[in-house]
Amino acid sequence: MSASAILSATPGGRRTPPKPAWLKVRLPSGSDYFLVAGLVRKHALHTICQSARCPNAGECWSARTATFLLLGDVCTRACAFCAVSKGRPGPLDAAEPDRVAEAAATLGLRYVVITSVTRDDLADGGAAHFARTIAAVRARSPETRVETLVPDFGGDTASLDAVLAVAPDILNHNLETVEGLYPLIRRPAGNYRRSLTVLERAHHAGATTKSGLMVGLGETAAEVHRALSDLRAAGCDLLTIGQYLRPAADCAPVERYYTPEEFAALEREARAVGFADVAAGPLVRSSYRAGELYRAAREKGAPPCAT
């Protein structure tokens, strides 16, 4: 076997396709990138940009934006697509909401995305911590819009309601992949419907809702169409679609890489299903163009979250 074949082989012996040229990203540079990096270090914050090895970190940080990761950087779940550390998390940091708010104010952000690791060890899944962080950001920066990318809170509706009660401008929860591939990503099959229920409940509470899908895990076109239809039936307003990139050797393999033209076709299909706006592309992730998608939703009449 050649060296290239060895490097592209999965632990089970199956080869992964070579990464295409359109997935290459430039190394981060510029003063704004280093400003964000310095603030993250100064305030002892975590970002999903770092923890999930996001390929857009250089672009976003250079534009003085970041997605803040709450509740530490260790997740209680072991999803097969994610680079975030798994294991037993540490205790909650009560000062974290204020540090996030200070960093957002220092950067002069007009749009902030707040997400978290999944904390099944907490009674409320960290919902109260989300709510305190949103309140802290708004206290320091009243004009700043806040998007929350939340976990499923174990299906606990009271936890979700606690986040909705502070009226995030966008309630984001990722469906991740098609229903048939949930076992592949180490999620119980029933969690697909649980995620749709999160979005549906948020929609009925008056929120503008958003979700995200990965492609390249082996899904069929029919399965993708069904997922799009399921999301719209749940009241999802906004959507991101990106290429799954295997972050580590113990994660699920890439079955194929979609071309930019295929992503353009997926975007057209999603718009035809009825989403208010869609961002689809090889490097698109949950927070990509977040502010732009929010503005598009407002222009097209998607409801703000009710207070």
Question: What's the CATH number where 112 sits?
Answer: 3.20.20.70
Residue 8, H or E segment = helix 3-8
**pLDDT tier at 85, thresholds 50, 70, 90:** confident
Kindly tell me if the per-residue pLDDT of 278 is higher than 70.
yes
- How many folded domains does the chain comprise? 1
pLDDT value of position 4: 32
Q: Is residue 69 part of a domain?
A: yes
Q: Is residue 160 part of a domain?
A: yes
Q: Is residue 91 part of a domain?
A: yes
**Is 307 or 295 the better-scoring residue by pLDDT?**
295
Collapsing DSSP to helix, strand or coil, 104 comes out as helix
Q: What is the overall mean pLDDT for the chain?
A: 84
User: How large a percentage of the chain has pLDDT more than 70?
Assistant: 79
Kindly tell me if the per-residue pLDDT of 71 is higher than 60.
yes
Nearest CA to 184 out of 80, 52, 78 is that of: 80
Contact assessment for residue 160 and residue 150, using Cβ atoms and an 8 Å cutoff = yes
Kindly tell me if the per-residue pLDDT of 161 is higher than 60.
yes
pLDDT value of position 48: 46
CA 54/CA 68 separation, integer angstroms: 13
Of 131-145, 210-224, 289-303, the range with the lowest mean pLDDT is: 289-303
Q: Is residue 77 part of a domain?
A: yes
CA 208/CA 224 separation, integer angstroms: 22
Kindly tell me if the per-residue pLDDT of 6 is higher than 50.
no
Q: Is residue 306 part of a domain?
A: no
Q: How far, in whole angstroms, is CA 206 from its chain's centroid? A: 21
Q: Is residue 72 part of a domain?
A: yes
**Rg (Cα) of the chain, in Å, rounded?**
19
Q: In three state form, how does the secondary structure of 165-207 look?
A: CCCCCEEECCCECCHHHCCCCCCCCCHHHHHHHHHHHHHHCCC
Q: Is residue 20 part of a domain?
A: no
Range of the domain at 128: 25-299
**Is 25 or 105 the better-scoring residue by pLDDT?**
105
Q: Is residue 5 part of a domain?
A: no
Cα–Cα distances (Å) from 206 to 125, 134, 150, 170, in that order, read: 22, 17, 16, 10
Q: Please return the burial class of 183, using the count of CB atoms within 10 Å of its CB with bins 0-12, 13-18 and 19+.
A: exposed
